[in-house]
Amino acid sequence: MRRAKISIIGAGNVGATAAHWCAAAELGDIVLVDIPETGAMPKGKALDLAQAAPIVGFDAQLVGTTEYADTAGSDVVVITAGIPRKPGMSRDDLLATNARIVGSVAQRIAQTSPAAVVMVVSNPLDAMVQRTWQVTGFPPRRVLGQAGVLDTARFRAFIAAELGVSVEDVSAMLLGGHGDSMVPLASCASVGGIPLTQLMRPERLAEIVQRTRDGGAEIVSLLRTGSAYYAPAAAVAQMVEAIVRDKKRLIPCAAYCDREYGVGGYYVGVPVVLGAGGVERIIEVELTAAERAAFQKSVDAVKGLAETMARLTG
């Protein structure tokens, strides 16, 4: 069987860590790309990771490069290129710089890997996915964003710690943009099949929902020099696996919603079925009035950012 070809653009913290998780899970051969200004850095990281293979025991070819020609014909391309947040910055503060970087990356990918599924990780996430879709001209289902898997993982980790149970038994879903307005759905969270609302007081649950919304900023303020990368990269690997193994995972990701949820043509976080074709289906869940209002607020924030980006990029 032919191995999948996975290209990861941006060999920084998220990109290199995603390469690590993907290689260790034998998801395919990996090409790690960065800009020429980084010298031979991507080559060094790929070589180092390849030398872990005999110890850990995985078969994957690893290439580090600054040439897009090496990514040609990729099945999946993951975009992590761009700058991360520093303390005091919101994801939206990255808009102008990352729109330029992601736009140029998307243009190269469209030329070299016209059949790829493209997964965006760079922030502000929802706007960066929109940009990638516009620049590549790919069908919307083949362009998606990683955010919901990370955000629900944070939610699940906090719930498990609070209840003293395994994270494996906590299941959760959320909607909306990857920002302060994201909407963790308490009504869709369960622990071992038991609705979370039966296991936790509403006030405590509300605190955990807020900590989830602030989860990225909490890490930024602890790290001081950049933003989270272990969990974001693990989320990338889970989504890459869903695509290359056609697993049809039902997980949240930033997907193009037109009539779905009445969004009207923007990328926003929703539950999807993720498989070989990318976003194969968007699942519309019934929302409470409060959840619907919160989702609308989040969609409005995403639209506002997309409009600012449109002005910045002409």
User: What positions carry a catalytic annotation?
Assistant: 178
Q: Residue 279, interface with ligand APR (CB under 6 A)?
A: no
Contact letters (x/-) for ligand APR, 196-235, by CB under 6 A?
A: ------------------------------xx-x--x---
Least distance from ligand APR to the Cβ atom of residue 169, Å: 28
Q: Which residues contact 37 (CB under 8 A, 6 or more apart)?
A: none
Q: Residue 287, interface with ligand APR (CB under 6 A)?
A: no
Dihedral (CA of 92, 95, 101, 107) sign: positive
Label residue 272 left, alpha or beta by phi (over 0 means left) and psi (-120 to 50 means alpha): beta
Residue type, 144: L
Q: Residue 104, interface with ligand APR (CB under 6 A)?
A: yes
Q: Residue 12, interface with ligand APR (CB under 6 A)?
A: yes
Residues 46-85 that bind ligand APR (CB under 6 A): 80-82, 84-85
**130-136 LR contacts (CB < 8 Å, sep 24+):** 130/266, 130/267, 130/306, 130/309, 131/99, 131/102, 131/103, 131/106, 131/309, 131/313, 132/79, 132/102, 132/105, 132/106, 133/256, 133/267, 135/103, 135/106, 135/107, 135/110, 136/106, 136/107, 136/109, 136/110
Decide whether 87 or 265 has the Cβ nearer to ligand APR: 87
> Side-chain half-sphere of 278: how many Cα atoms within 13 Å?
22
Instruction: Identify the three-state secondary structure at position 148.
Output: helix
Q: Residue 121, interface with ligand APR (CB under 6 A)?
A: yes
Q: Residue 34, interface with ligand APR (CB under 6 A)?
A: yes
141 close to 278: Cβ distance less than 8 angstroms: yes
User: How far apart, in whole angstroms, are the C-alpha atoms of residue 284 and residue 68?
Assistant: 37
Least distance from ligand APR to the Cβ atom of residue 304, Å: 19
Residue labelled with tokens 């653009």: 9
Decide whether 102 or 200 has the Cβ nearer to ligand APR: 102
Q: Which stretch binds ligand APR (CB under 6 A): 115-123, 170-178, 238-246, 271-279?
A: 115-123
Q: Which DSSP category does 139 fall into?
A: -
Least distance from ligand APR to the Cβ atom of residue 215, Å: 12
Q: Residue 291, interface with ligand APR (CB under 6 A)?
A: no
Looking at beta carbons, which residue is closest to ligand APR? 12
Take residue 194 and report the two structure tokens written for it: 């038991």
Q: Which stretch binds ligand APR (CB under 6 A): 119-127, 137-145, 174-182, 259-267?
A: 119-127
Least distance from ligand APR to the Cβ atom of residue 119, Å: 11
- Which residues of the shown chain bind ligand APR in the complex (CB under 6 A)? 9-15, 33-35, 38, 80-82, 84-85, 94, 98, 101, 104-105, 121-123, 226-227, 229, 232
